[in-house]
Amino acid sequence: MSAGNADAVLVTGLGATTPLGGDTASTWAAMLAGESGIGPIEEEWAAALPVRIAGRLKVEPTEVLDRVKARRMDRCEQIALIAAREAWADAGRPEVDPERLAVVIGTGTGGALTLLGQDDVLETSGVRKVSPHTVPMLMANGPAAWVSIELGARGGAHTPVSACASGAEAIAQGLDLIRLGRADVVVAGGTEACVCALPMAGFAQAKAHSTRNDEPERASRPFDVDRDGFVIGEGAAVVVLERAGFAAARAARAHAALAGAAVTSDAHHITAAHQDGQVRAMRRALTDAGLSPRDIALVQAHATSTQLGDLTEARSVAEALGTHPVVTATKSMTGHLFGAAGALGAIATILALRDGAVPPTRNLDTQDPDIPLDIVTGEPRRGPLTAGLANAFGFGGHNASLVFTPAP
């Protein structure tokens, strides 16, 4: 689909709150500088864990939201709303028929902090102390619901739950809603906030989490020969998608065009990625965008820093696209934001195309010799980019690939 026609889908708004910054601009500046948002967990609950590091939010949501409203929302809902507000403002607050405005916010775990916290309350203090807001705070569709209420969106509030592919799948679903004529504007993205004992213990037991507790800023090291697992992070990332004709009618500025997307499933293993599913996602996204592998200049890798995961993705990229695109892996700076990871990767891809600057991959000291990709390290790689592809893969065999092109 050409980004120049009236039926193309444009990205007109960006919003994020991450371990690198409380908004998109500060997050992007930190990415280009190769900074780390990963640090030690000082709270007492982490003392007994084998993993005591995480990518915590740079700005606490309670510093941004009304205190009373914030108390009725899980942390993942709070940050989804913050990111959506920024994206909506960045898009110029489009005047759109509420029936033609939809929301799609993905998440991997939903209100995990509320679920675990209120279960503790129930066990220690009894049923009368359980919050009456527990259910709307823990439900996975809560972030999409809160954003739809905030914006008055009546065209649907949707919640893909596909592990670490959730945010990217949400953006792909937003593309479909516009193409099918069901919406003119879609607010789409992902959110996650589950830095707490149970998931961290589970990932540690599965040997998926880095245990570099003494050097947290060096723990997330995609594609490095010494990588030893991901680092859990929290954050939210949201984009505003618009039908190009609608955006043109209101003279909206676009950051980029969402040219194509694809979602596949491995049907292979509950946790182990499969090269075939990833290759099919990338190839289908290219076909959807009407592009060839040679058109892709940049790959935003999923790259979680696990031994098998990084190697599988590198081989998939080489098979689907070749080894010519430059590759970046921003989880080296933010940690793994799970349900928000794909949406933040999409924003990084969009900004790289817009600004002609690819963020470096942090902590890549010695590239794995079995990974024959051109990975950006040290300083940003600068210059014009024809198109970018962002990958997001999740437990369960979920694969999502998004293709972006420069704004028309």
Domain boundaries, given as residue ranges, for the chain: 9-250, 262-396
The pLDDT value given to residue 2: 35
Contact 114, 130 (CB under 8 A): no
Contact 267, 399 (CB under 8 A): no
DSSP per-residue string spanning 252-273: ---SEEEEEEEEEE--S-SSS-
Identified catalytic residue from 158, 209, 336, 398 = 336
Catalytic residue list contains 268: no
Q: Torsion angle, CA of 171/111/109/264, rounded to 10 degrees?
A: -30
Identified catalytic residue from 76, 164, 194, 196 = 164
Residue 50: phi and psi, rounded to 5, are: -70, -20
Second-level CATH architecture of 262-396: 3-Layer(aba) Sandwich (3.40)
Q: How many Cα neighbours within 13 Å face the side chain of 363?
A: 31
The pLDDT value given to residue 5: 74
Catalytic residue list contains 336: yes
Second-level CATH architecture of 9-250: 3-Layer(aba) Sandwich (3.40)
Identified catalytic residue from 158, 255, 274, 302 = 302
67 by DSSP, 3-state: which? Answer: helix
Determine which helix (DSSP H) or strand (DSSP E) holds 18, and give its type and residue range. Answer: none
Compute the distance between CA of residue 159 and CA of residue 189 in angstroms, rounded to an integer.
10
Q: Do domains 9-250 and 262-396 have the same CATH topology?
A: yes
The pLDDT value given to residue 3: 38
Token pair 């600068």 is found at 382
CA angle 328, 330, 335 (to 5 degrees): 145
Compute the distance between CA of residue 217 and CA of residue 213 in angstroms, rounded to an integer.
9
Token pair of 47 as six digits: 């003392």
Compute the distance between CA of residue 86 and CA of residue 189 in angstroms, rounded to an integer.
12
Beta bridge partners of 218: none
CA angle 20, 238, 301 (to 5 degrees): 65
Catalytic residue list contains 196: no
The pLDDT value given to residue 7: 82
Instruction: Give the pLDDT confidence of 277-311 residue by residue, as tens digits.
Output: 999 999 999 999 999 999 999 999 999 999 999 99
Residue burial 5-18, b: 16+ Cβ < 10 Å; e: rest: eeebbbbbbbbbbb
The pLDDT value given to residue 25: 98
What residues in the chain have per-residue pLDDT under 70?
Answer: 1-4, 6
Instruction: Give the pLDDT confidence of 44-66 residue by residue, as tens digits.
Output: 999 999 999 999 999 999 999 99
Which 8-state DSSP code applies to residue 224?
B
Which 8-state DSSP code applies to residue 230?
B
209 by DSSP, 3-state: which? Answer: strand
